[in-house]
Chain A
Amino acid sequence: MKEKLKKLSDYKWLIPKDARSGMRVDAIFYANKSILDTVEDTAIQQLTNVACLPGIIEPVLGMPDMHWGYGLPMGAIGAFDKEKGVISCGCTGFDINCGIHMLRTNLLADEVKSKLNDLISTLFHTIPCGVGARGKLRLSNKELSKVFTNGVRWAVENGYGIPEDLERIEENGCIKGADPSKISNHAMNRGAPQLGTLGAGNHFLEIQAVDEIYEQEIAKVFGINQKGQITIMIHCGSRGLGHQVATDYLKIHSSAARKYGIRLPDPQLVCAPTTSNEGQDYFSAMKGAANYAFCNRQIIAHWVRESFAQVFKKSWESMEMNTIYDVCHNICKLEEHTINGKKREVYVHRKGATRAFPPGHIDVPIVYRKVGQPVLIAGSMGTASYILIGTDKAMVESFGSSCHGAGRAMSRHAAIKRFRGETVKRELESRGKTVRSTHPKILAEEAPGAYKDVDAVVESVHKAGISKKVARVIPLGIAKG
């Protein structure tokens, strides 16, 4: 499939709709040449599969962190017509609203380095992580339903945050229209013991230091003032609750695709017409799962504040541990975009992709509206992460979207064969980083060498103009599930 790509610029490649039969629209892949050379042909193929679905709006988009996924590749965006399109649980993925919550502090690296061991141990003790770790909260179904409908507001009302946090979260921490009655008992029961848990796999918690500031004035608005300043990044999602919502609707959408005669180029691209009960039921359930994920990250963020307060023996407020932002990486949203010169509402599926709305956009929180929406990009373990900002060009070209992380370059099994957890840990420690995991194997699976170069990924979206670099942070302490 790669041979059919046409170069549009050094960072933008076209997969024309005549590349294969059945494609209704073009696809675009954003990447520099070296990323393009290494991306899997099967991931490009998956972009063209999505281009075959009914009501798809041009173009289907692949970001530089794109890799093979299920249905829609990871690092991709597919937007559908509000009336004639589809809503697809396959295009959103199993981990609904997997995303990032980021905190800033007024601490500097020198103040933190000597306490890193203490901090990581306290965080590890306070925040349940890894497969098999149990959450500390026990919510009744009634309370859990409030989490689905109220999102982070539930957390703030129950003492896991402050009202100011709500102003610095995508959708203010609550996507409107969640309907708990569309979430199964199985999902409720699975989600109940897992609220306030980090999970495993690529989920992590990092203590970071600002390494580079590219846009001083914008960084200041986010509370980033100088190099060496400490930030904290939390990467996780909706846990078993979201996995179960996805599993339930995978079956429902599979039947719906047959019922409505939708031809699926890949069985994992199951979907339902946007106007059908099956489509709207999923949309309402997915919003509930997304709100649970926002809430999960908020609770963890609050425990991070309390852990720092315990180690430094002063209040988290005095360390100014404020939320920078919280973004979704796996989500479906009904958003207004300009298509062929006309404003239209469309269903945008982002899987392994970040919303990147520009300055002035009404959906950017008021506190950031002048500068644009923060786009939080997680690097691989031990490498840099980034804060970017949304741009007008993203609204024109990529449905207001950008990349989400480094993106895997090697499978987990291949990584386990190639790397040893203990060696990865030693190597990271020799570079001055403190690392803790539930299991050495997870460090092998998540070895930096198993991922793409995050700097090249970010440079590609920056140069393509669909987001702009604001600051780069590097990890000092890492906790893995």
Chain B
Amino acid sequence: MKYKFLEDLTSDVMFEAYGRSLEELLENSALAMFSVVCDIKKVRALKSIKIEISSPDEQSLLHTWLSELLTQSEINCMFLSKFKVKRIETIDGLHLFGTASGEDMSPKLGETVVKGVTYYGFKLEKTDSGYKAQVALDI
């Protein structure tokens, strides 16, 4: 399983995402978030955006990654449906190099505006099988 949505928050949504590696966890978390924004099954990977971010630790890297994807999606007026973390360098913190792909926004593919990634209940932990994260979105 890549992700699942958790017990409801009254006004918003919370999900859990999984990955065998940190890279996979980041990709699956992005999928979970964009499944709220748009119909990811129908959004085609026609164009790509380069994502390069830095953070001091794994937990803040996840938060920055998701926030950056939301920002780039709106700046480029694109719905995103495919995510690739190519590598994470670990010199003086973590530096992520990746891509996000999708197509131009159109109302028929849209679902809900995600306003932001919150710190509420925000967790990233190592498990026996890899990584698990919990994320709450303000919608």
Residues on A lying within 8 angstroms of B by beta carbon are 40, 67-71, 74, 90, 93-95, 130-134, 186, 189-190, 193-194, 199-201, 240, 243-244, 246-247, 250-251, 254, 266-268, 270, 408-414, 438-439, 441-442, 445, 481
Contact = CB atoms under 8 A, between A and B. Distances in A.
B116 to A, nearest CB: 4
A243 B115 contact: yes
B10 A186 contact: no
A139 B37 CA distance: 25
B90 interface: no
Nearest to B66: A247
B10 A68 contact: yes
Nearest to A69: B11
A438 B110 contact: yes
The SS class assigned to the B binding surface is: mixed
Nearest to B106: A132
Contacts of B79: 132
B11 A94 contact: no
A95 B115 contact: yes
Contact of A243 (B11, B38, B116): B116
Interface residues of B, number: 37
Interface stretch (B20-28, B92-100, B117-125, B127-135): B117-125
A37 B77 CA distance: 44
Given A134-B105, A244-B71, 5 more contacts: A131-B110, A250-B119, A412-B11, A412-B12, A413-B5
A190 B136 CA distance: 21
A132 B10 contact: no
A409 B105 CA distance: 31
Given A194-B74, A414-B8, A70 B136 contact: yes
A132 B136 contact: no
Contacts of B115: 94-95, 243, 246
B71 A190 contact: yes
A408 B13 CA distance: 14
Contact of A408 (B11, B116, B120): B11
B110 A68 contact: no
Contact of B38 (A71, A131, A412, A481): A131
A270 B113 contact: no
Given A190-B74, A199-B113, A70 B105 contact: no
Nearest to B116: A94
Given A132-B38, A240-B74, A70 B111 contact: no
Given A68-B9, A69-B11, A134 B77 contact: yes
B113 A131 contact: yes
A112 B54 CA distance: 56
Contacts of B35: none
Contacts of A193: 74, 77
Contact of B67 (A67, A247, A408): A247
B109 interface: yes
